Structure 1
Amino acid sequence: MLSLLAIVLLVATLLTIFYQGLSRGVGSAVFAIVWLLCGFLASWLFNPILLILVAGVLVVLNHVDLRQKFISRPVYNALAKVMPAIGDTEREAIEAGTTWFEADLFSGKPDWQNFSKLQFSTLTDEEQSFLDNEVVELCQMLDEWQIFHELRDLPEEVWDFLKHKGFFSLIIPREYGGKAFSPYAQSRIMSKIATRSLTAAVTAMVPNSLGPGELLAEYGTQEQKDRWLPGLAKGDEIPCFGLTGPEAGSDAGAIPDTGVICKGKIDGKEVLGMRLNFAKRWITLAPVATVVGLAFKLYDPDHLLGDEDELGITCALIPASTKGVEIGRRHYPGSPFMNGPINGKDVFVPLDAIIGGPEMAGKGWRMLIECLGAGRGISLPALATASGEIGYRMTGAFGRIRRQFKTAVGEFEGVQEASAEIAGIAYTLEAYRHLVTRSLEDGAPSVVTAMAKYHATEMMRDLINHGMDIAGGRGIQLGPRNFLALPYQSTPIAITVEGANILTRSLMIFGQGAMRCHPYLYEELQAIQADDKEKGLQDFDKLFFSHAGHTAGNMSRAIVQGLAGGLFSQAPGNADAFSAPWYRLINRYSAVLASTADVALGLLGGDLKRRELLSARLGDMHSQLLIACAILKYHATLPRDEANDAHATYALRRAFSKAHDSLDAFTRNFGFFGIAHVFKALFFPFGRPCMAQAPDDDMIRMLGTQIMEPSSVRDALAEPAYISRDPEDAIGRVEVTYSKLLEVEPAYMAFLKADGKGQLQGSTVLEKLQDAAEKGVIARDQVDAVNDYDAMRYDCLLTDAFDKNLKKVKVHAERPSM
């Protein structure tokens, strides 16, 4: 018994040393003292052989030369043989951008003090004014059915409004006539437009994401900025950017398009320039662009610039009218925004066409990676958030208006399973938008924006699919009355652009996250591949043992928190009773993620990059923890009421359930004789925490009911959207009908109950309502209001019908006799 106690004390000592992050020297001394004290409980601990072994290990760990000789050098040499070299392109991708709070989550020990200081961004007076005036005026000009199915383009007056009211200049500095709006303001603008018209939103967002404007503002020479930015800000110039092509979509780094440095003539004068040959596809705004940004691989075979034959990916900016450029044709991506191919054959341009000038030749890949954040972190998530806002509003209203089997369809539990998901996702998307745009104010966090692009657009896909299930035929039949079909058709656009979601999840989130967010991994790889091996060994020795202590600390935290729950876990100082347990759960899963990632990296090494199913699951865990942080931060900004708590609880349970599901899938498929199962058992000795279970039936019923009710959350999600009140508009028709239902519902339900029992006489709704008033079922002054509502209800439920040529809508909106 005493021996068992001694072993427990030694294990507890090790856990405490690593949990507290004690230095190697202090930790060794503490362990040695406890070992000697435990020897009085278990005499076998004083065995000379054991004492020599323990002393030898402690000496080796603490003596630099011995440590390097017996541990660091063998490990260093072994890893140098098996670790793949980091290529220049991969290195640029890894080093591009910045890290943010996602690095804390990956480290296993989030810094809640810093997180608590983060405040969500707010709009300036100028940004709010632009939303309330120019954006609203634009939304009032838009008819998405007409744009989709009649014009297949934006009306000319909309194009003029976009160009000359500053919609293409949101990221351009003020000194060049731009607005220089914040990432949050850009997101709000794009999502509000998207609640009205995806076509207009995509048209507006492209010049404000990956494109010449941002590249010029960040990297352009002064001459380039003076030449192009004022015209882009005024809308006199329309930009596009040619990156992808037939042979390079998601793998944009494999572009076959070329530029060769050579001499040529411009305006009769011989100048040093580049001869470009390219074939680009899927380029938004290409059919109407006046200025084209291009990415290509630049070569210098005659060494006119230097000694290198291949300079690498380069970005240049040229007028669309340049000789040899073929532009103007259109693709048809399902939504009629301008998108098309660009081809170029023997296009000669001067070297000063390179964005940033000749010294930026070959540095285009880093430029692109750092500037992709606007598209991934602002524009595409804004589309998803808009779908959440409208999906919540319309599905909740429709579920209350539409009745089957004498019951509102939104009250059926099967429907509530879908509508609760819509409510939880919409809440999550709005929360996520706030956190991600806030991160972009602090830099260009490539991992955060990759997470945002993938998870926001996938949540959008799920939300719209659920909405279509609830709407049924009302969502399927195309026409100007349909509030779901056009977003449903357009979902693949957001899923695909800026890199297909499969690529983003499988390669980018964890692939970049492990390298960028891990406190030691990338530096260790650089030390292993250093030209000076002795210097590399010395650096590796420090990093490797710091890494080992980091891993042991995370494992200790995961084990202790698994045993003690949140007892020893810290939450932010300003956390309230609702959020504190969730923050502690993030601590626990953060330590589990960091430990699991280190085990995977240690056993698989560079092969983990090729085991995409495994790395994607670790990326999913990482992402869901950041999503949980966003939900908690957003919850704190709304009134503390039942609706807010219910939505946040559902969203958090959804996030942690997905995180744990990813861990389960990782564990089942990792291999290595079940080692992942061993660690999972240590980290979760009592099984999955109840707070990480999927939302239960009570939560589903609660949110399925609340999505149909007026609430603080319903108002918060509607505030950023454009909600029409026009009864002839697809959204406005549902909105005004829902509002009317709230006004008359008690009387209407009393009428339906009496009519269902056969107590009312009459052949029309109005006659039965009048009879109900005579019999005291409803008040006499409610007859007209309830009759008006029932007419609105019937009209709201109708789908469009056309003539045989599908040209003219012929809707029969008159109620049949009862």
Structure 2
Amino acid sequence: MTVFVAALVLLGLLFALFYFETALHTGSAIFAAAWLLLGFLAPVLWHPAALLPLILVLAVLNIPALRRALISRPVYGLLSKTMPTISDTEREALEAGTTWWEKELFCGRPDWQMFSQISLPRLTADEQSFIDNEVEQLCGMLDEWQIHHHLKDLPEDVWQFLRNKGFFGLIIPREYGGKAFSPYAQSRVMSKIATRSLTAAVTAMVPNSLGPGELLMKYGTDEQKQRWLPGLADGTELPCFGLTGPEAGSDAGAIPDVGIVCRGEHEGRTVIGLRLTFAKRWITLAPVATVIGLAFRLEDPEGLLGDASKQDYGITCALVPANHPGVETGRRHYPGAPFMNGPVTGRDVFIPLDWIIGGQEMAGKGWRMLIECLGVGRGISLPALATASGEVGYRSVGAFARIRRQFNIEIGKFEGVQEATAEIAALTYTLEAQRHFVTKGLEDGTPSVMTSMAKYHATEMMRTLINHGMDIGGGRAIQLGPRNFMALPYQSIPVAITVEGANILTRSLMIFGQGSMRCHPFLYDELQTLTSKDHQQGLKDFDPLFFRHVGYTLSRMARTLVLGLTAGRFSTIPDDANDFAAPWYRLLNRFSATLSVTADTALAVLGGDLKRRELLSARLGDAHSQLLLASAILKFHAGQPADRANDAHAEYALTRAFHLAQEALFAFYRNFPARFAALLVKAMAFPFGGVVKAPNDDMIRELGTLIMEPTSVRDTFGSFTYLSLDPEDALGRVECTYRKLLEVDDAWQAVLKAVSRGKLSGRSLAEQLDDAAAQGIIRQEDIQPLLEYDAMRYDCLLTDAFDPAFFTEAQAGGSRQPPAPEAEPIFPSSQSAAGGVAGDGNEAASKTERMEAP
């Protein structure tokens, strides 16, 4: 019995040493001391047959020469044969950028002190003023129906306004005439514009995203900065960037465009330069750009750059004026929205070497430059579009669901509709939380993994919530026209999904593929040693990394088991966590440890083959991403008003995030080829089964109701958007009607209730209201506001209808603008409060549309 107790104590001690991640030498000393002390309880531990194995094991683990010879060398030899080689392009991509909170989550032991010190970004006075004035004024100038269906371009006065007010120079330093706005301010600007016009938002976003401006700021020579940045800041120069082409889309590393180093004529002199041949497509702003950034493969067959042994330099970036001989622009693609997008081509275009961004010393370093700069597009621009879609959808669909009635009840009160509106509400809350969190990360560095997560999940959430909005709007949402507030955002979905890397590739290859290398504390360094040409030095470097990795894995296994058995109740959480947040932080601890162990298991079993197991790696990426979103939601929620509306939105959003993370892990375990390993990890992490269920019906009903109410959350989202109060505007019509409903709602509900019970007489609403006032159901002074609301309500439900000339002119491509839909007469006094049409419906019909029963 004493031996059994001693063994249990030693096993428990070993488990504790792993759990607390004790250093090898310290842990060995503690374990040896405990062994010797326990010998007083169980003398068998002092027997040479027990002591000699202990001494041998501890000696091998703690004496580097023995450890390398007996353990590290065989492991190194085995792994070096199975590890895939890393191309220069892959190496540059992996080394590019920084890591932030996503690394803490991946490593299984989040640093909550670091998290507590993260303060969400705020606008400066200049940034707030720009949004309140210039951006507000710009939004007032935009009519997306006219832009999209008639002009096929921004009006000239809008183009000039964008130039004059500095919209193209938000990221450029002040000394060059730019505004030097923060990532958060850039996101807010683009998001607000996008609530009004996708075309204008994309036009403004590209110069401030991946393009010559950012590349010049980070890598350009002083001469290049002086030459280009002032013009880019004031809009006299308009940039585009040629990256993708017929043979290279998401796989930008496969660029076939080439620049050959040679001698040629430039400005009357013979100089060393590049002869470029390229064919780029899908290049936003290309048809109107004055300067083009180009990515191409640089080759130096004659060794003119000074290194005769090096011919292929790899991807390089250069700046070329659009009017340079041999460059062809002007043609347009048509991506379903009329922002400027088109091909850029050139054959035998000669440019001097100093047109390479950063000069000759940056030759061949273009891929790393691009990877680091892609973060702006992925982390700011596209999520800003998605967030704008969510916030417009939240307010407009929520209002419409309360205005629109069927079966004598607001459609937003049907539980089937609430299932959709609750998702819209939760996803919008998540998008805004993500925006705050990711832009804060971009202030501190260039976190390439986190921005890939942001781009993929933001655009997918946008797809989901807009589709829900279309379902709720029904026929009102699919009929194109200036009244429709859903159709154009719906058409924009594919644009956001496909650019800056197709979503399928981002999810299946990039998030975990790059994330595991960038976020794992040892993996990339180990891979470097395994592919080293100097095997002796590689083995020497590999040995301490490998044993630290083993200790790290054992620590995370112990942590996962403890957190799984205790539901994380005793784990460390932020000191400032309140009662609402505390359980969610414990879940983050638990899921973070689980992700760490699961990822290490996958890497250990599959090795380099995991790169090709995209279904498995995508699920690990999903789990990692949802933990980042949960962190963002918690941080955002802490800064919002302490009320039930915020709690309900955060609760649903967090439940959704953790449930998705859990389901991604479960799907991984079900499909992992090493069944025993998968079942073992799952048993450690979830010993009692799943711990997070999908949002329940009570949560759905509550959020489905809140989206129709004037809450603090609705106000917060409204502060980030352009709020039109023009009753002739697509969104303004809904907003004005909703506000009017809030004013008269008590009286309106009283009338509806009386009508449903047959208490009111009269065929028209006016007659019914008079009777309601006579019976004391409403006040006399309520009658006129109710009639005004009913007129607005009915107008809000109407759909555009066009004369045949609209279609014939559009088809013929006539020079005159097709006629707008005719105004439709509204006869609210002919409508009963129950929503039916009194008398013959044809009496209330315009020549363009028969009145639909509201």
TM-score normalized with structure 1 length = 0.98
**Cα pair distance change 1:802/1:8, threshold 3 Å:** farther
1:416/1:700 contact within 8 Å kept: yes
What is the letter of the counterpart of residue 723 of structure 1?
L
Question: Secondary structure of the equivalent of 1:372?
Answer: helix
Q: 1:447 aligns with which of 436, 446, 449?
A: 449
What is the letter of the counterpart of residue 237 of structure 1?
E
- Once the two structures are superposed, the pairs formed by residues 474-485 of structure 1 within 5 Å of their partners are 474-485=476-487
In structure 2, distance between residues paired with 1:813 and 1:693: 51
In structure 2, distance between residues paired with 1:784 and 1:632: 46
In structure 2, distance between residues paired with 1:534 and 1:464: 58
Compute the displacement of 1:33 (Å): 4.4
2:601/2:677 contact within 8 Å kept: no
Deviates more, 1:315-324 or 1:52-61: 52-61
Compute the displacement of 1:4 (Å): 6.1
Q: Deviations over 1:469-517 (max 9, x none)?
A: 1111111111111111100011110110000001111111111111111
Question: Secondary structure of the equivalent of 1:567?
Answer: coil
**Cα pair distance change 1:11/1:484, threshold 3 Å:** farther
In structure 2, distance between residues paired with 1:252 and 1:203: 23
Q: Deviations over 1:659-678 (max 9, x none)?
A: 00110010001121331111
Compute the displacement of 1:51 (Å): 4.8
**Cα pair distance change 1:44/1:717, threshold 3 Å:** farther
Q: Deviations over 1:721-774 (max 9, x none)?
A: 001111000100000101111111111111111112222122211111111111
| 1:801 and 2:804 correspond | no
In the alignment, what sits opposite 2:293?
Answer: 293
Compute the displacement of 1:269 (Å): 1.7
Compute the displacement of 1:803 (Å): 1.4
1:172/1:213 contact within 8 Å kept: yes
1:801/1:811 contact within 8 Å kept: no
Compute the displacement of 1:148 (Å): 0.6
What is the letter of the counterpart of residue 612 of structure 1?
E
- Once the two structures are superposed, the pairs formed by residues 190-339 of structure 1 within 5 Å of their partners are 190-305=190-305, 306-307=307-308, 308-339=310-341
In structure 1, distance between residues paired with 2:802 and 2:676: 62
1:311/1:361 contact within 8 Å kept: yes
Q: Give percent identity, aligned residues only.
A: 66
**Cα pair distance change 1:52/1:459, threshold 3 Å:** same
Deviates more, 1:271-280 or 1:574-583: 574-583
What is the letter of the counterpart of residue 694 of structure 2?
A
In structure 1, distance between residues paired with 2:771 and 2:409: 23
Q: Deviations over 1:445-464 (max 9, x none)?
A: 10111111001111111111
Compute the displacement of 1:3 (Å): 6.6
In the alignment, what sits opposite 1:98?
Answer: 98
Q: Deviations over 1:243-268 (max 9, x none)?
A: 00001000011010010011111232
Compute the displacement of 1:567 (Å): 2.9
Compute the displacement of 1:38 (Å): 6.0
1:207/1:240 contact within 8 Å kept: yes
Question: Secondary structure of the equivalent of 2:761?
Answer: coil
What is the letter of the counterpart of residue 810 of structure 1?
E
Question: Secondary structure of the equivalent of 1:537?
Answer: helix
What is the letter of the counterpart of residue 826 of structure 2?
E
**Cα pair distance change 1:46/1:738, threshold 3 Å:** same
Q: Deviations over 1:315-374 (max 9, x none)?
A: 000110111111100000011000000110111111111111111111111111111111
1:802/1:811 contact within 8 Å kept: no
- Once the two structures are superposed, the pairs formed by residues 762-781 of structure 1 within 5 Å of their partners are 762-781=762-781
Compute the displacement of 1:56 (Å): 2.5
Deviates more, 1:134-143 or 1:531-540: 531-540
What is the letter of the counterpart of residue 269 of structure 1?
R
Question: Secondary structure of the equivalent of 1:108?
Answer: coil
Deviates more, 1:31-40 or 1:332-341: 31-40
Q: Deviations over 1:127-149 (max 9, x none)?
A: 11100110000000000011110
2:142/2:197 contact within 8 Å kept: yes
In structure 2, distance between residues paired with 1:12 and 1:471: 61
Question: Secondary structure of the equivalent of 1:296?
Answer: strand
Q: Deviations over 1:625-679 (max 9, x none)?
A: 1111110110011111101111111111011001001100100011213311111
What is the letter of the counterpart of residue 141 of structure 1?
M
Compute the displacement of 1:813 (Å): 4.4
Q: Deviations over 1:406-461 (max 9, x none)?
A: 11111111111110010000000000000000001111110111111001111111
Question: Secondary structure of the equivalent of 2:168?
Answer: coil
In the alignment, what sits opposite 1:125?
Answer: 125
In structure 1, distance between residues paired with 2:72 and 2:797: 72
In structure 2, distance between residues paired with 1:714 and 1:474: 23
In structure 1, distance between residues paired with 2:577 and 2:428: 23
In the alignment, what sits opposite 2:365?
Answer: 363
Compute the displacement of 1:44 (Å): 7.6
In structure 1, distance between residues paired with 2:11 and 2:708: 54
In the alignment, what sits opposite 1:152?
Answer: 152
2:652/2:695 contact within 8 Å kept: yes
In the alignment, what sits opposite 1:697?
Answer: 697
In the alignment, what sits opposite 2:606?
Answer: 604
2:645/2:713 contact within 8 Å kept: yes
In the alignment, what sits opposite 1:374?
Answer: 376
TM-score normalized with structure 2 length = 0.94
In the alignment, what sits opposite 1:466?
Answer: 468
Compute the displacement of 1:26 (Å): 2.4
Compute the displacement of 1:10 (Å): 3.5
2:562/2:568 contact within 8 Å kept: no
In structure 1, distance between residues paired with 2:176 and 2:65: 60
Deviates more, 1:246-255 or 1:34-43: 34-43
After superposition, the CA RMSD in angstroms is 1.5
1:211/1:241 contact within 8 Å kept: yes
Q: 1:679 aligns with which of 675, 678, 681?
A: 681
In structure 1, distance between residues paired with 2:289 and 2:618: 37
What is the letter of the counterpart of residue 799 of structure 2?
T
- Once the two structures are superposed, the pairs formed by residues 425-574 of structure 1 within 5 Å of their partners are 425-574=427-576
Deviates more, 1:554-563 or 1:131-140: 554-563
Q: Deviations over 1:219-264 (max 9, x none)?
A: 1111111111111111111111000000100001101001001111
In the alignment, what sits opposite 1:646?
Answer: 648
Unmatched segments (≥5 aa) in structure 2: 807-818, 832-837, 839-854
Q: 1:661 aligns with which of 643, 651, 663?
A: 663
Q: What is the count of residue pairs matched by the alignment?
A: 816
Question: Secondary structure of the equivalent of 2:480?
Answer: coil
In the alignment, what sits opposite 1:706?
Answer: 706
What is the letter of the counterpart of residue 622 of structure 2?
D
1:296/1:315 contact within 8 Å kept: yes
1:318/1:353 contact within 8 Å kept: yes
What is the letter of the counterpart of residue 734 of structure 2?
V
